[in-house]
Structures are given as C-alpha cells and as structure tokens.
C-alpha cells in the first residue's frame, strides 16, 4: 500500500538521521570532554615585575612610592581594613600589603608603615610600630605568555565574591541550577523582560550555552551552529557539575581587549579594568563587569563610557530589586563613576619588554619547561624606571617633533651592578605591540663605536690619554673608491690629545688612530665588549659603519660600565612552577673581557665627553653628578644616539625615522635630551670611579704631555696604565704646585 511505502522511507530516513546524529553527537562529545576538560585548569605562564624591597635609607621619592602603590591597585582611604588598603598622611604611608607567593617563598598579608624624607625611607615599621630592616611589596603583574589564544587569571568558585556569581546568574541565567543546558523558560522570560523594558536587558542563552560558544564555536550566525551549541550544551551538563561549569564560565568568558591581548575571565578583567584582585571588587565594579558580558565592544568603558555606565546602572537596579544589595549601597554605587584604573585599554601594556622576555625564555629554557601549568616568571622589570623612561623619551620626542612627522625613538635601561634589563621602550607608541625598535631597529651606530677604538689604543699601551692624534684630512683607497671622512664641524684641528679627540668626537683623528691599530684589532675589541653581530671589515667601521640594535649597544656599553666584565644582559630572574620550585636555567658566567685598568682610563675620557665634549649639556642638567657617555650621529643626520651611565643605571637612547630619512638631529641635539631627562629623574648614585690596581695618576701639562704639578697652568690630573705614564718633567712648572709656578714666573 502507498502509506506503507512512505512509512518505510520515513523510517529509513529517520534511521539514517539518527545514525548521523549519533555520529555527530559522539564527535561533539569527544570535543567537549577533551578540550573543555583540559581548559578547565589551563593557566598561562604569569609574568611579574621585580619585587620592590623596602629598607631604611633606600632612595625613594614619595611620588614614586605612591606611583608604585597606584600601579598595584592599592585603595586610598582613611583606615586600613583589608589587604590592598592604603592611608597616606604627607610623606608617611600606611599600607596593608597583600599576601603573595614570592620567588623565595610565600608571605602573609601585613600592615606596614613607611616614612619618607629627603627622597629616602627614614623609617620602616610593622603594625605594632616595631622597626623593620626589610619589607617587600608584591610585584606588578605584566601579563602572561605562551598561551594558545587566550589569556586569563584562574579563579576558583570558592574564591569568587558571592555577589558576583549571584549577579551573573540574575542577569544572564536565573534558572542556571534548574535547567540541563537549555532553558526555554529562560528564553521566554528574557523576551518578556526585554519587551517590558523597551530594550534588551536580559539574554536568553544559558551560561552553559555561552560557555560552549566561547570555547568551541565561532560567532557565525547559522542554524547549524545553533544545533551544535544546543547539543554540546547538553553534553557539557551531562559530563560536568554545575559548580564546575560555573567556574569554567568565570574563567573563560570574553570580557574585552587590551591591545592585541584578549581579556578572558572575570579575574583578569578585574585587573584590566580596575587593577585589583577579584575578591576586592565593589558592587558597582561587579555590575560593570557583568554588564560587559552582553557585549564587551558595545559597552567598552573607554570608547563608550556613557553607554557602559548606563548598562552598569541597569545591572545595579536589578541587583537592588532582587535584594542582592540594599537601598543604601545602591544609592552609593550608582553615584560613583566607572573608576577605571587607567586612561586607555592598553595603558598598562609593556610590549617591548615582554618581547625581550619571550625571546630570552626561548634562549635560556627548554620548551617543555615553558609548558608547565602555573609557571611563574619573575623578571627584572622595574615599573618606576619604566615610567620615567617612557616619560622622558616621550617628552623629548614631543619637543623635537611636536607634529609627529615620523620621528621615532627607543630606549634600553640596564642595572649596572646586576647586568639586568630593567626597562625598555620600543617606540613612540609605547603601549602598543608592533615593531620593537629597541630589539629590531638595527641601525648604523655612528660615533658610539669610538670608545672601542680608543680602548684598543689604550690597551696596546702605545697610546695614552695625552698622546697626540693627527686630526687632518683622511684619504684612503678602499674597494670602489676613496674613503674621505670629515669632522662634524667640517674642519680639521691638527694635533689633538687623545682624550680631547674622543670628547669632541673627531672623525679624522679617530680614522687615523684606527688605521694605525688595524681593523681586525678594533673588531676584536668590539667582540670582547659583547657584540656578537658581524661587523663590516672596512675602515669605515671606526666611525660606526657597523649596524646594531639599541639592545646590542647596551650590551657593549654595559661591559664598559661594569669595569670590563661581560656577562650579557638578562631580563629574567627566576622561573618557578606552581609549587614555587625554581626551574633550572642555562648558566652564563661573567668574564673579565677587558682589563679594569684600561676601562678606568677610558671611563675618564668618557666623563670628559660629558664635561667638555659633545655631551657637555649634562653639566647643566646633572651638576656635580658624575656620569660618562658618548654621543652618536650617522651620515646625513639619519640616526641620533646616546649611550651613558651613572653609578646605578646605563641607558641607551636612539632616535631616527623608520623610512631612514634625515632627522636633522645629532646625538647631542636629539637622543641626549631623552637620556638626560631620564637620568635626572631616576638615577640616585653617581658613577663610581675608584682606581683599580695598575693605574697611576700623574699631573701633566695637557699641551706638552710633560709631567707638571697641581696648580700649574694647563695641568691636568690624568690616569695612566702602569708603565705608560710620562717621566719627563716640564721645566717651566716643577711638580709642587702653584707657589712654585708663581715663584718661577716672579724670577
């Protein structure tokens, strides 16, 4: 019969459909169990800045200490009630330090009192007024890395404020504990609520559906995606408890963007928007985060603050109506502004430094160690030094290029004692990931190479600081033509003392000196100073034809600043697993690459650069503060460089254009401005200049090079490597001082 025919076909099709559905369901079930099961406890590696150690007599300004507390999200108030609170009275700070698992062990929350006077900590006490020798603040979180696609800070359900979970279910899924992944009643309730409000105030998807969409599916709008979402939601509910699903949701939901970094989970969002742990959120902050679930882009508080506040206030109203907050709290919360912790979404990013950390991790650690769950990376990054570096470089670039016509810059700062990179600026857009000029702008280094030439001469012991160099025209035949370098001032100066040639950065004198030393010997010195990149084997290398990045220049100058000890530069201090156990790293042993005696003499000449030479502007900005450095300028004023150091920091600054056009800036008129601004604000320790063994100081006449005396005309107290000091005495002014000189002139 005909109906039997159609029934048979219907049953066959139903069977095929059932089998197909079963196959799809099995496939989707495998995805749910494998992918979601792994992700429930998947935590990316967390990267931290240095720990701020506080101790009496520590150099620290009240403004910088306040800045550190602000970066860590401490809340200013009148009393200390819970960790994360701060009370400031003038230059006395009372803080309730948060508990933290430091690289050397866990520490409980603690109340501290810090008194600052004359830019130093003068007293450090605990809550019982007992004096402390040392205390420390938890380090700033710089973010995470080695994630597959998402970033998050894991939070467990019992560590989440109950008000947050209750508000989330109130707004997004009131029937969460009563449905099996899908909620037709919730869809109807949301529809009527939205009609009554005249706008979309509630969603119809369950939290389980939203979790499935966030973890497994794209934003594609199709019936097939809806079917997969429904099936997978049922499977998730079948395999996992409600508590596990809610916890996964709290850690997975997408809540915004920080530059290129997606913000997943409420714990990370709490840091991103308010710079505080999730357990310290107020009711209005909880309302804003829950409101973001509906549309992180639509309600972005930086791009659309009025829309974000309206959404937050609507959530607060629902919280009050359902009894989650009382009328008093509602009245206070709705009057508050959004209370964002930074001026823009990307304001706290430090992409240049994280780029360095990422590269050094791959260099120094094995890949399997970097995949350990809960890995914590403690770096040397100093947020206060970084703030000053960004501020000084930005100020200099704005002054030199106010209309932003293409002038770019980069800065690398190292700690001279430890050899660690403590700050890095990769470009004018300092908080946005992109071309990292500090690491990847490989440019001709200009006169920054000259200290290596003069160091080679001093080590040879054929030259001293008062040796006469020939600053006359240079004409050398090279492949393809003639090499005829000119001085910056387009003049030649005849015979000049070696220290003066370096101070004034005379090209002709340096070229003559380099040719006498030979190219291979100078290149060998550059390598001993830590430069690994190949340099051109041509005479022009004496004047900076070799190309280096700012970081590579910092490696070279760090060796000079560290008395000739070469150890490379590091950004990472310690890696620990989730239990706090340090991971092994490849050792890198410091080595004495250059004799301390030769370095001491070179440092003397580099101080003269800052007093009498091309860096003489430092005298006005850093009076009575010993520093050493060198300017660098390349052909046609394309690159402006400065590298210099005090007793605590070395800083290298580069300015130039990405299109390699002329900037119109020399090292002194460009990069030096950024360097001086940074050192004036940040450095507290003048350069140490104790003579090492093998150095003899002698009073000499700087014009004749003969032994003179203190107080004699043209007398200069100059260091010599032992055995190279002059012995012939200037007959016009015997050693002994001004009295003898006066007596000699009188008769």
What are the residue ranges spanned by the domains of the chain? 54-138, 145-335, 420-571+590-682, 695-746
pLDDT in tens, 578-619: 777 888 676 667 899 999 999 999 999 999 999 999 999 999
User: Which residues have CB under 8 Å from 722's CB, separation 6+?
Assistant: 597, 694, 695, 696
**pLDDT of amino acid 372:** 65
**pLDDT of amino acid 397:** 97
Other beta carbons less than 10 A from residue 231's beta carbon: 19
User: Which residues have CB under 8 Å from 252's CB, separation 6+?
Assistant: 39, 150, 152, 211, 214, 215, 264, 265
**pLDDT of amino acid 739:** 47
**pLDDT of amino acid 398:** 96
Among all chains, which residue has been given the structure tokens 């403590």? 422
Task: Write the DSSP symbol of residue 59.
Answer: B
**Residue positions annotated with a catalytic role:** 172, 447
pLDDT in tens, 554-583: 999 999 999 999 988 999 998 888 777 888
- Backbone angles phi and psi of 352, in degrees to 5: -65, -45
User: Which residues have CB under 8 Å from 590's CB, separation 6+?
Assistant: 419, 565, 566, 567
| Residues 543/510, Cβ–Cβ less than 8 Å | yes
- Rounded to an integer, what distance in angstroms lies between the CA atom of residue 729 and that of residue 375? 67
Among all chains, which residue has been given the structure tokens 């009554």? 196
Which CA distances in Å does 517 have to 39, 451, 524, 533, 658? 62, 14, 11, 21, 35
**pLDDT of amino acid 431:** 83
Task: Write the DSSP symbol of residue 272.
Answer: H
Report pTM. Answer: 0.85
Domain 54-138 belongs to what topology?
Answer: Penicillin-binding protein 1b fold (3.30.2060)
H-helix or E-strand spanning residue 289: helix 283-292
- Backbone angles phi and psi of 246, in degrees to 5: -65, -40
User: Which residues have CB under 8 Å from 633's CB, separation 6+?
Assistant: 446, 447, 488, 639, 640, 641, 665, 666, 667, 668
User: Which residues have CB under 8 Å from 240's CB, separation 6+?
Assistant: 36, 248
H-helix or E-strand spanning residue 502: helix 498-503
| Residues of the chain where predicted confidence (pLDDT) is lower than 70 | 1-43, 146-152, 183-204, 216-225, 228-229, 346-348, 368, 371-373, 584, 586-588, 734-747
User: Which residues have CB under 8 Å from 313's CB, separation 6+?
Assistant: 287, 334
Share in percent of the chain as helix, strand, coil (round to 5):
40, 20, 40
- Rounded to an integer, what distance in angstroms lies between the CA atom of residue 369 and that of residue 170? 42
CA 502 centroid distance within chain: 33
User: Which residues have CB under 8 Å from 98's CB, separation 6+?
Assistant: 83, 84, 109, 138, 277
Task: Write the DSSP symbol of residue 157.
Answer: G
CATH number of 145-335: 1.10.3810.10
Q: What is the per-residue burial (b if ≥16 Cβ within 10 Å, else e) of 157-184?
A: beebbebbbbbbbbbbbbebeebebbbe
Q: What is the DSSP string of 723-745?
A: T-S---B-TTS-TT-HHHHHHHH
CATH number of 420-571+590-682: 3.40.710.10
Q: Which two tokens stand for residue 707?
A: 């032994």
In this chain, the answer to whether the domains covering 54-138 and 420-571+590-682 adopt an identical fold is no
């Amino acid at each position: 019969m005909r109906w039997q025919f159609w029934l048979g076909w219907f049953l066959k099709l139903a069977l095929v459909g059932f089998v197909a559905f079963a196959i799809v369901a099995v496939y989707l079930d495998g995805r749910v169990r494998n992918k979601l099961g792994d992700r429930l406890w998947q935590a990316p590696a967390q990267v931290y800045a240095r720990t701020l150690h506080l101790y009496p007599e520590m150099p620290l300004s009240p403004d910088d200490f306040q800045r550190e507390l602000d970066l860590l999200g401490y809340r200013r108030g009148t009393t200390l009630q819970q960790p994360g609170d701060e009370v400031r009275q003038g230059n006395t700070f009372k803080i309730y330090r948060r508990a933290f698992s430091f690289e050397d062990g866990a520490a409980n929350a603690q109340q501290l009192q810090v008194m600052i006077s004359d830019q130093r900590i003068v007293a450090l006490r605990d809550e019982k007024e007992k004096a402390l020798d040392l205390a420390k603040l938890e380090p700033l979180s710089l973010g995470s890395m080695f994630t597959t696609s998402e970033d998050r800070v894991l939070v467990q359900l019992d560590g989440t404020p109950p008000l947050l979970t209750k508000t989330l279910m109130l707004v997004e899924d009131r029937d969460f504990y009563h449905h099996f992944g899908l909620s037709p009643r919730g869809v109807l309730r949301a529809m009527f609520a939205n009609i009554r409000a005249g706008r979309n105030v509630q969603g119809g998807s369950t939290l389980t559906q939203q979790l499935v969409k966030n973890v497994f599916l794209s934003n594609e709008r199709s019936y097939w995606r809806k079917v997969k979402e429904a099936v997978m939601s049922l499977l998730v509910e079948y395999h996992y408890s409600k508590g596990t699903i809610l916890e996964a949701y709290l850690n997975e939901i997408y809540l915004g963007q920080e530059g290129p970094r997606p913000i997943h989970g409420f714990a990370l969002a709490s840091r991103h928007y308010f710079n505080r742990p999730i357990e310290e959120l107020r009711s209005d902050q909880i309302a804003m985060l829950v409101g973001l679930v509906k549309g992180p882009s639509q309600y972005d508080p930086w791009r659309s603050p009025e829309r974000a506040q309206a959404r937050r206030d609507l959530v607060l109203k629902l919280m009050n109506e359902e009894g989650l907050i009382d009328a008093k709290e509602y009245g206070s919360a709705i009057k508050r502004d959004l209370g964002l912790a930074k001026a823009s979404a990307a304001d706290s990013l430090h992409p240049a430094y994280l780029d360095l950390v990422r590269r050094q991790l791959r260099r120094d650690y094995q890949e399997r160690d970097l995949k350990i769950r809960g890995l914590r990376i403690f770096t040397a990054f100093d947020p206060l030094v970084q703030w000053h570096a960004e501020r000084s470089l930005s100020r200099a670039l704005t002054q030199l290029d106010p209309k932003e016509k293409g002038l770019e810059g980069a800065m690398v700062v190292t700690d001279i004692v430890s050899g660690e990179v403590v700050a890095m600026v990769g470009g004018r857009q300092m908080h946005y990931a992109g071309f990292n000029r500090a690491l990847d702008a490989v440019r001709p280094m200009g006169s920054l190479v000259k200290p290596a030439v003069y160091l080679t001469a001093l080590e040879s012991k054929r030259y001293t600081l008062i040796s006469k160099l020939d600053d006359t025209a240079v004409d050398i035949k090279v492949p393809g033509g003639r090499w005829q370098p000119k001085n910056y001032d387009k003049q030649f100066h005849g015979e000049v003392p070696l220290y003066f040639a370096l101070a004034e950065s005379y090209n002709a004198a340096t070229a003559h000196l380099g040719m006498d030393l030979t190219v291979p010997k100078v290149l060998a010195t550059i390598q001993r100073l830590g430069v690994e990149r190949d340099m051109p084997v041509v005479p022009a290398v004496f004047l900076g034809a070799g190309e280096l990045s700012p970081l590579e220049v910092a490696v070279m100058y760090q060796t000079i600043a560290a008395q000739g000890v070469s150890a490379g530069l590091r950004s990472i201090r310690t890696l620990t697993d989730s239990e706090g156990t340090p991971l092994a790293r490849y050792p890198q042993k410091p080595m004495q690459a250059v004799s301390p005696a030769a370095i001491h003499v070179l440092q003397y000449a580099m101080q003269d650069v800052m007093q009498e030479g091309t860096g003489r502007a430092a005298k006005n900005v850093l009076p009575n503060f010993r520093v050493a450095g060198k300017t660098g300028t390349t052909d046609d004023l394309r690159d402006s460089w400065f590298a210099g150091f005090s007793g605590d920091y070395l800083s290298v600054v580069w300015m130039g254009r990405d299109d390699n056009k002329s900037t119109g800036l020399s090292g002194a008129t460009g990069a030096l401005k950024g360097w001086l601004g940074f050192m004036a604000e940040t450095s507290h320790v003048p350069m140490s200049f104790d003579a090492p063994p093998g150095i003899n100081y002698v009073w000499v006449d700087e014009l004749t090079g003969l032994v003179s005396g203190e107080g004699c005309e043209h007398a200069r107290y100059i260091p010599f490597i032992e055995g190279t000091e002059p012995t012939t005495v200037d007959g016009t002014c015997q050693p002994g001082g001004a009295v003898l000189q006066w007596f000699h002139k009188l008769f």
